[in-house]
Structure 1
């Protein structure tokens, strides 16, 4: 049996973490939630993660810095950003840094699933 892709949800909002993890599991993915980028970066799941769904603005390390840290360690982990505060300049930076998608909260679950599928297909090619 093939191992399920692990999706890491990094967001300081517990309700977003819970609902996003539930959605991912409903579609057959393994999901693990983290309340901060620091928690994720220190977790044993870091090396097993197939895709990261991250908030942009969080206390401590924000989403863009998380993306940068993952890239600096040569991890090819695709990142999908979600935010309650869309800013075209931040979106541009995220996408220029290789983000798969940049979604505004509340986001459509189907759109998020399309982004995850795109991220996993990119990392498998």
Structure 2
């Protein structure tokens, strides 16, 4: 879970844990890239707009490195605009989102890996 807003990061991480997922939380894409999770995580849940590297930039960088780790994006902006950048196979949730929607996106992303 990557989000530069502490309240969102904590709430989303807590929600994912309550749904049975193991979660590591990061304040930035750069912090995530410096961790072992880059090669071990089953799914990346990331905000789109963050200070420094954006979620879209992280997605693009990892795809250029041949990473197939699935992404789920959460965004306050238009989900359509994000989908146009990352493709229709990536789940994009617009804030605020329902717990069930996040659970479905993460479960589907992990199953597609």
- If the length of structure 2 is used for normalisation, what is the TM-score? 0.93
Deviation at 1:15, TM superposition (A): 1.0
Structure 1 equivalent of residue 23 of structure 2: 31
State how many pairs are aligned: 113
**Secondary structure at 1:80's aligned position in 2?**
strand
Structure 2 equivalent of residue 80 of structure 1: 72
The alignment's C-alpha RMSD in Å is 1.3
1:25-76 CA-partner distances (Å, limit 9, x unpaired)? 1122110110100000111222111001111111111011110111111111
- Please list every run of 5 or more consecutive structure 2 residues that lacks an aligned counterpart in the other structure: none
Q: Moved runs in structure 1, 4+ residues, more than 6 A? A: none
Structure 2 equivalent of residue 16 of structure 1: 8
Q: How does 1:1-125 map to 2 (within 5 A)?
A: 9-86=1-78, 88-95=80-87, 98-99=89-90, 101-123=91-113
Question: In structure 2, what is the Cα distance between the partners aligned to 1:44 and 1:14?
Answer: 21
Asked if the contact 2:44/2:70 (under 8 Å) is kept, the reply is: yes
Distance 1:92 1:21, change over 3 A: same
- Please list every run of 5 or more consecutive structure 1 residues that lacks an aligned counterpart in the other structure: 1-8
- If the length of structure 1 is used for normalisation, what is the TM-score? 0.84
Deviation at 1:89, TM superposition (A): 2.8
